[in-house]
Amino acid sequence: MIIAGFFSACSKSQSSLQSDIVEMEKSVSVASNVDTVNCDSLITLYKNYCVLFKDDTICADYFFKAADLSVQVGKFKQAVELYGNTQRFPIYRKITRALFLQGFVSENNLQDKNAAREYYNRFVIKFPEHKMTPTIKLLLQTLNMTDEDLIRKFNGQSDSVITTN
């Protein structure tokens, strides 16, 4: 079915595919609950467009939107991959958020702390002056801590704050 959709997309013009995407976006945003079938269809439209028109800068936004939808429907590995595809567009306005979300989804949804560490470290190296970098450094410090370790760390910090005041 996906292959048939891809070949169908190949025969359409760029503007026709963009119109299809806009219409599908409307139907997905109107739905009061997550409609997995429509979300999957929209994700497929985004991906097909980006295969056919890979140099179009709108692909960065389509990859980001497809990743967000993938998270909504529980396709977390796909989401991490799609967020990563935005990195092909270095001037994309959400490139830092996409890299952060690769780490966040890896950590919190896939329970893959090694992958999360890799994405977070990549963020810190690539964007050392970004406003989120201090927070991401903190995430890296606490990545392997248990809830009990975090509570002890927090209690220890609050004790030192109390005694210094």
For 76-88, the pLDDT digits (tens) are 999 999 999 999 9
Q: What is the spatial distance between Cα 24 and Cα 135, in angstroms, rounded to a whole number? A: 36
Give the residue, 7 or 59, on which the prediction is more confident.
Answer: 59
Closest by Cα among 38, 33, 41, 94 to 63: 94
Mean pLDDT of 84-104: 97
Task: Note the pTM of the prediction, 2 decimals.
Answer: 0.83
- 21 has pLDDT over 90: yes
Mean pLDDT of 14-39: 86
Mean pLDDT of 64-89: 97
109 contacts 71 by C-beta, under 8 angstroms? yes
Close Cβ partners of 82 (under 8 Å, ≥ 6 residues apart): 47, 63, 64, 66, 67, 70
